[in-house]
Structure 1
């Protein structure tokens, strides 16, 4: 059965219907409404329009509004002065004051009318009759009056005096023209605001699309299978460049992981092929040549041991993958690292004695840490196992730990052959084994697990000579972890 035939029918149909190639970057009308660039452009246009409306409102209040306030203030002051004149000199003095004001009114803007209490008989002023449609409840109003044989717009104020009715006002013809000019200016300015807002919104949307297009093109190329594509930088150092740098770092990391996956796949195929083939050959040979049940049993046991070694390799790979993915953070808990190190030393002390080696420790009273106890124990056990494996008989393996300003340091030193600077650069890669270690049993995953555990605990590992200048120099592996 082919791989395509294993897909569910709905998924297979979608895959057959989907056109090949990278996704299109064009924005049609439906997608345009969901465009972030359009939303930013509309937001800019709205803010620009609000700012323009506020500016126009302030200008209107400062011009037309100021003229209206000045007119009302002048009328009110004139009315108060005439009232005081009436109190001092009576009706005769009030009539004289009105005639004096009309005689000195060069601009011919003042409006006065003094009538009897009923408003039926004119006593003084430049209006022939009381205006019609006067609101009785309000002393202020605007209306059209016949002033010097012309029908003009006037602002008027009424005062009730004993037996008299006084009307004081101003001709607003020029002010009305000024207000009309201001209104026309506001309308034209509003049209210009809308035009500039639309142009600015289009420019912002175009600029956003232009800055984001390299990222779109790069992601489309990667979706099409070109993993070497990277987002070009503009050199401005702005938010888009920082986003592009982050994307490039992510793509480099993905590329590194993909190379690692390919390398691991090749290493698994190479390193597991031999033990699987050896186990199969032994079992076939035992099946064909074993003359007794004991020899057949021994061959089966040897095959089981080879398969167990393969299983351990897969288990180590699984633990490394879990540590690198952070899947074991749920098991983090406060612990005393000294107890973990003491347990590891106790486990491997017998193995060191069997090889005529000495395992010594230098541990403090307590080292508080938040981490995964099982993984930390496995990492230290891998270091001790490697140290014992490569230390010759009569040598020494030393386990130490201390709290430093940089965190907690755990070190394992041995008297083995050590690693060359070139090999140290590859140490920690999966299935990597130095030339000196080819004849030694192992899978090349020990330091990979140690490095993954250190990174899971926000730490790192360092490899150095145990005793610089000595031949052989030995190896000292340091794990630095973040303390509690």
Structure 2
């Protein structure tokens, strides 16, 4: 790029100098020829010859060339050339050739003008201009060569600098490819684009490590938490097969086993939804929609459950909340929050669902007045299969908040957990889902 730009600049300079000299010479010769043709019209052949001799007399630099001959080219009438240049055919008005001028062979730029019964040549000696053009051309060639040398040196230096700056990135990626997942890109401390790239790569690697740790944690949790209900269902079925005296008792045990297996199936479905949300597989289903009726539907669904447990459901929803996202996933996330709130709220308690528009986007809040979560438990509340000590006796799989957090991250938002009423013995829990603008 540097070489092309520099050579283009040199070419423009050459055109503006050598080319300007050529154009200037042609313009002077053309004007001189037009003036001589006008003189011939006014004074005839003798007046034209006198005009040529006058021009030659005042030509101090001895650059002008004139030749006036008869139509056959046999008789020279006026001018400073001995004869018509050889090799020049009729019908070519402009040409360059070598002529004998003052006893010397010189380069000349000539213009042929046909007059009735006459031949007229008007031109200029280009010896000095040719020498200047030659010097300019040599300068252009040398300058272009120097530009290429500097361009190659600059390319080598830039490549060397880029390789030096990208060396830590190459080393880190090679180490990770070799199995060292703890390796990170070293920052230079300059704060430039390469450091920002390194920070982004390190953040990506930290995220990958976190996801892999989550996968290992899920595998361990599945192995431990699902082994018990599967073993229990199998034991019940084996016991019923061996001891059931009639069909009714056997049917009851089979139905219980089916219910246990349905619970295991629901856990796997929840894990699948969480994995899809974290991988971004559901982002293709994003579309503009109004979140307000979705929240109203969720409140209506769980209001009956709250009334059956002696609780109150309060809502504070605006008329419209325009959003771009996955409607079904957001409905599932709000439903999980409401289900948890109802589950941990004592009889006579209150569950609140509220939403509002903020300068950053939309904020959805679900609050209850149950026992709440200890600060040390909130840091693990979004982990799969995590259950606080207070929730061990409550039915559930520990995947509800994991799905809520995954859905919020899929939409570019976040989930905050805080005390609903810190001053009370039962502080409750307030779950805030913040979703950014589309």
Q: TM-score range by the shorter chain?
A: 0.7 to 0.9
SS in 2 for 1:63: helix
Question: Does the residue aligned with 1:155 lie in a helix, a strand or coil?
Answer: strand
Question: Structure 2-normalised TM-score?
Answer: 0.82
Residue correspondence of structure 1 range 158-197 to structure 2 within 5 A: 158-161=112-115, 163-197=117-151
Residue 279 of structure 1 and its aligned partner are, at CA, apart by: 4.4
Compute the displacement of 1:331 (Å): 8.1
Summarize deviations over 1:363-382 as a string: whole Å, max 9, x none: 54855566656544543443
The question of whether the paired residues in 2 share the 8 Å contact of 1:367 and 1:403 is answered with no
Instruction: Report the Cα distance in structure 1 between the residues aligned to 2:47 and 2:336, rounded to whole angstroms.
Output: 118
Deviates more, 1:246-255 or 1:267-276: 267-276
- State how far apart, in whole Å, the 1-side matches of 2:377 and 2:273 are: 24
Query: Is it true that 1:446 corresponds to 2:400 in the alignment?
Result: yes
Mark the CA change 1:140 to 1:400 in structure 2 (over 3 Å): closer, same or farther.
closer
- Which position in structure 1 is the counterpart of 2:299? 342
> What CA deviation, in whole Å up to 9, does each residue of 1:21-62 have, x standing for no partner?
xxxxxxxxxxxxxxxxxxxxxxx3xx623x344323322223
1:429 aligns with 2:376: no
Which residue number in structure 2 is paired with residue 222 of structure 1? 176
Between the aligned partners of 2:82 and 2:244, the Cα distance in structure 1 is: 146
| Pair 1:151–1:414, CA change in 2 (3 A) | closer
Counterpart check, 1:147 vs 2:147: no
Give how far 1:251 is off: 1.3
> For each residue in 1:431-461, what CA deviation from the matched residue of structure 2 results, as whole angstroms up to 9, or x when unmatched?
2122222343432222222323344455433
User: Is it true that 1:231 corresponds to 2:185 in the alignment?
Assistant: yes
CA separation of 1:421/1:79 partners in 2, compared to 1, >3 Å: closer, same or farther?
same
Counterpart in 2 of 1:322? 276
Contact 1:338 1:366 in 2 (8 A): no
Matching of residue 258 in structure 1 with residue 212 in structure 2: yes
TM-superposition CA deviations, 1:290-316 (whole Å, max 9, x none): 474477666655555444443332232
Correspondence for 1:48: 3
Gap change, CA 1:345 and 1:305, over 3 Å in 2: closer
CA distance in 2, matches of 1:458, 1:95: 93
| Residues 27-176 of structure 1: pairs in structure 2 closer than 5 A | 44=1, 48-49=3-4, 51-80=5-34, 82-83=36-37, 94-161=48-115, 163-176=117-130
Partner of 1:397: 350
Gaps of 5+ in 1: 1-43
1:12 aligns with none
The 2-side partners of 1:172 and 1:373 are apart by: 84
RMSD over equivalenced CA pairs, Å: 3.5
1:176 is displaced (CA, Å) by: 2.3
Partner deviation per Cα, 1:104-132 (whole Å, 9 max, x = no partner): 44443333333334332233433322322
CA change 1:398–1:89 in 2 (3 A) is closer
Per the normalisation by structure 1, the TM-score is 0.75
1:227 shift after superposition: 1.4
Q: Secondary structure at the match of 2:181?
A: coil
| 1:67-97, Cα deviation, whole Å (9 max, x unpaired) | 2333334434444555565566665555555
**Structure 1 residues 66 and 318: alpha-carbon distance in aligned structure 2, compared to 1, 3 A threshold:** closer
Does the C-alpha gap of structure 1 residues 200 and 278 become closer, same or farther in structure 2, counting only changes over 3 Å? Answer: same
Show structure 2 runs of 5+ residues with no match. none
* Whole-angstrom distance in 2 between the partners of 1:164 and 1:287: 132
1-structure distance, mates of 2:343, 2:41: 123
